[in-house]
Amino acid sequence: MSRKVSAPMSDLKARVLDDRLAPFERLCRLVEILRSPEGCPWDRVQTHASLLPYLIEEAYEVIESVEANDYSALKEELGDLLVQIVFHAQLAGERGDFTISDSIGLIIDKLLRRHPHVFEERRELRPSQVRDQWEKIKTESGEKDSVLSGLPRTAPALTTAFRIGEKAGGVGFDWRKPDEALAKVEEEIAEVRSELASDHPDRPQRLRAEFGDLLFAVASSARLAGVDPEGALRQALEKFRTRFDRLEREVLADRGSFDKYTLDEMEAIWQAIKKGQLPDRQ
């Protein structure tokens, strides 16, 4: 038998839809109700840790809608992400740690502090100069204890490579242009080739290190060219996935399996797909 609630659902809904409240306040009240004894059993048992997979999922769905230029989806996904933020703030408020207003107050103070060219002495800066100014303000104010602090270790490695390069560049430790970073890529490729040809007993570990240096150099070159390497790699992977799916349909429809093709034959199909020379098989 289900438990009898202490207030009719219509009353709870009316509290959320109170037109005297701003939409953000309605959302905060809705989450508060869901967490209350009158609310939802699933929401009541959640913790900061249990919500993390949903926070990550919603953030990636925002990224996906941006990369697809799907603004209808973006409108919805930003709301989904906001729910996660409000939920974490609600949990913190119940513990007496902080409220969503505290979080908002902190970010307002931070943004005012990091934009002196707007809110203090007015200056016209290029976007790259604003980025460099941010990094200097964060370290000189004591907000960060080092130039590279504040980067989450759980972030995707290419994104981290991009941000580490940005932060180091913010204090002047950077190549001046993409070509200089590209020369570093070529240097790292040569070092990978050297390790591949070696018979050193530590070859696997040394190769791992050299490939890591190569990927970091590629990320730095992309950054200096104005390209987000994480987004570029996702785009490349999606392109490969689409073309490989097309290759697989061709293989299965013709001879039934990959092992009936030579690599040269598959490459010929691949090139035809790239050039749009094959009719699609649905």
**What are the chain's domains?**
9-99 (1.10.287.1080), 124-228 (1.10.287.1080), 231-274 (no CATH)
pLDDT at 77: 97
Identity of residue 114:
R
Please work out, in degrees rounded to the nearest 5, the angle formed at the alpha carbon of residue 98 by the alpha carbons of 92 and 103: 105
pLDDT at 8: 56
pLDDT at 9: 58
- DSSP of 25-93: HHHHHHHHHHHSTTS-HHHHT--HHHHHHHHHHHHHHHHHHHHTT-HHHHHHHHHHHHHHHHHHHHHHH
Q: What CA–CA distances, in Å, run from 14 to 17, 26, 123, 279?
A: 5, 10, 49, 57
pLDDT at 282: 63
Question: Do 225 and 180 contact (CB within 8 A), yes or no?
Answer: no
Tens of pLDDT, residue by residue, the chain (282 residues): 455 555 555 788 999 999 999 999 999 999 999 999 999 999 999 999 999 989 999 999 999 999 889 999 999 999 999 999 999 999 999 999 999 999 999 999 999 998 999 998 888 888 888 888 887 887 777 777 778 887 888 888 998 999 999 888 888 889 988 899 999 999 999 999 999 999 999 999 999 999 999 999 999 999 999 999 998 999 999 999 999 999 999 999 988 899 999 999 999 999 999 998 877 666
Q: What is the dihedral of CA 177, 183, 186, 192, to 10 degrees?
A: -90
pLDDT at 276: 87
Tokens for 250, please give them.
Answer: 């061709």
